[in-house]
Amino acid sequence: MAGVDWALILCGLVVLATQPHRFDGDAGVRLAMVDRMLDGRSPGDTPYSVISPVLSLPFRAVGAPGLFNVTLFAVSLAVLWALLRGRVAADLVRRFLLLLVAASMIAPHTGSFNSEVFTAFCVGAGIVVAALPRRQGWSVAPLALGVANTPATAVGLGLVSLDLVIRSRRLRWLLPVLAAGALVAVEAWVRRGSPFDGGYGADHGFRTVMPYSGRSGFSYPFVLGVLAILFSFGRGLLFFAPGLFLPTRLSGRYDPSRVDLVAVRRGWLLFTAGLVVVYASWWAWYGGASWGPRFFLFASLPAALALAVRLGPSPAPVLGDLATLAALLLSGWVAVAGRLFAGLYPPVCAADSYRLEALCWFTPEYSSLWYPLWAGGSLSAGDWLVVAYHVVAVGWLARSAVSRLSAAIPRVPVRGWRL
C-alpha cells in the first residue's frame, strides 16, 4: 500500500512539472524583478516582496524559472513528511501528501511564477513546527519569512500567534509576528524610503458594472467579500477546497507526546480565516484574471488533512462517507481543471476593459471549474494521460470509503425492501 501511495505522489509531481508555464500578470512582474537583480540592478519599485524572487534566482539563471514553484512544492512535501513522520500515522501522512498533489488547487500555482507556494508551505510547515515539543523555537523563521513574502497574510499569523499566546500563556508566540513585521518594514524602507509604504498607494482596478469597482484599498464591503470568497462559483473555497468544510476527528491518529496535530489543524484553519478576513475588503479579493481563489492556496492544507482523515479505514456513517466522497471527487476535478485549463480565461470576462469580469467570479458558466466543460475544446493524448492519472489517484484514495458504502448498501431499507 505504501508503495502505491509513493508511486502516485511521484507521478503527480511529474504531471505538475510537465505542465505549461505562465508568466502573465503579477508573475511577469516578479520575473522582471528577477531579471533586474540578475543584471545587478535593484528589483524595481513594485509592491511585491523580493523574498521568493531572490530564492528563484538560480532557476532563472539556468533558464528554468517555470520549475521554481514545482521544485519548491516538492521540497515542501518532503519537509512536511519529515516533520510528521513517526509522529502521525504513516498512512494518514501519505494520504495527506497525495491529496495535496492529486486533489487540490496546487497545479496553477506550480505552473506560474507567483509567490503563493512559498508563503503557503513555509507558514504551513512553521505551524507544524510550533506544535512539536522541544522544537517550537524553530518555527519563528519559517513563519516570519512566509508572511514577509506576502505581507497581507500577517492577519492570519496574528490569529495563530494570539491563539498560541492564550493557550500557552507565553508572550514568546508574538515573536513570529514581530519578526515578520520587522522584515516587511526593513524591505519597505530600503526599497521605497519608508517602513510604512507598502507600495500599493492608489492601486485600483477597472471600473466595471459592479457597484464597488474602480476603488482602491480596502473598499469592498466586508460581508460581500466573505460570502464571495467562501461561496462564489468562480472563487469560492466551498468549490475549490471542499474538504475545508468537513468536520474531522483526529484522535487516535497521532502521538500526542510528539506532536499536537489538533493544534496544527487549528493553526491552519485560523491562518485561513485570517486570509478571508484581510482579503474580504480588498478591492482585488478575486485575485485578478487568475484561475480560482489565487490568494487562498493555503486553504489546501487543512482541506487535505480533513479529507485524509475521513478517507482512512476507520468506521464512518453512510452520510459522512457520501459527503467525503463528494468532496474528494470535486477536489479531484479541481486538480484536473487546474492542470489542464489554468490558462483558459473566458474572453467575455476580459472584453471592454473587464467590464463583465464578475461573470468569472460569480456564475458557474464562466467559473474556472465549469467553463472548460463547454468551451475547453478537444484534449490531446498527453491531456488524457493527465486525466487518467487523477482518476487512478482519486480512485485509490476513495477505496476505503467506497468499501464501507458497499458493505452498508444491503442494510439500507427502502419502503420495506432492502437494496
How does pLDDT run across 203-234, given as a tens digit for each residue?
788 888 999 988 888 999 999 999 999 999 99
- 168-177: average pLDDT: 94
C-alpha span between 380 and 393 (Å, rounded): 20
Percent with pLDDT over 90 in the chain: 80
For residues 295-331, one letter each, b for 16 or more C-beta atoms within 10 angstroms of the residue's C-beta and e for the rest, the string is bbbbbbbbbbbbbbbbbeeeebeeeebebbbebbebb
Q: What are the φ/ψ torsions at residue 390 (nearest 5 degrees)?
A: -65, -35
Q: What element of type H or E holds 414?
A: strand 413-414
Cβ-contact 316, 401 below 8 angstroms: yes
Question: For the segment 87-126, what is each residue's pLDDT rounded down to a tens digit?
Answer: 999 999 999 999 999 999 999 999 999 999 999 999 999 9
Q: Which residues pair with 85 in a beta bridge?
A: 88
Q: What is the mean pLDDT of residues 175-198?
A: 90
Q: Kindly state the helix (H) or strand (E) to which residue 164 belongs, with its residue range.
A: helix 154-168
Q: Provide the sign of the torsion angle of the four alpha carbons 234, 241, 116, 341, taken in this order.
A: negative
What pLDDT shows up at residue 217? 86
Q: Quick check: 281 pLDDT over 80?
A: yes
For 8-42, write each residue's pLDDT tens digit: 999 999 999 999 998 988 899 999 999 999 998 98
pLDDT of residue 419: 47
- From CA 365, how far away is CA 59, in angstroms rounded? 38
Looking at the structure of the chain, the number of domains it has is 1
- The SS3 call for residue 216 is strand
d(CA 31, CA 57): 10
H or E segment and range at residue 258: none
Q: What is the extent of the structural domain holding 405?
A: 2-418
Helix (H, G, I), strand (E, B) or coil at 418: strand
* Residue 410 clears pLDDT 70, i.e. is over it: no
What average pLDDT does range 360-384 have in this prediction? Answer: 92
Q: Determine the average pLDDT of the residues in 193-206.
A: 78
Confidence (pLDDT) at 77: 98
Indicate the pTM of the whole model. 0.94
Predicted confidence at residue 377, as pLDDT, reads 77
Q: If residue 148 lies in a helix (H) or strand (E), which one and from where to where? A: helix 140-149
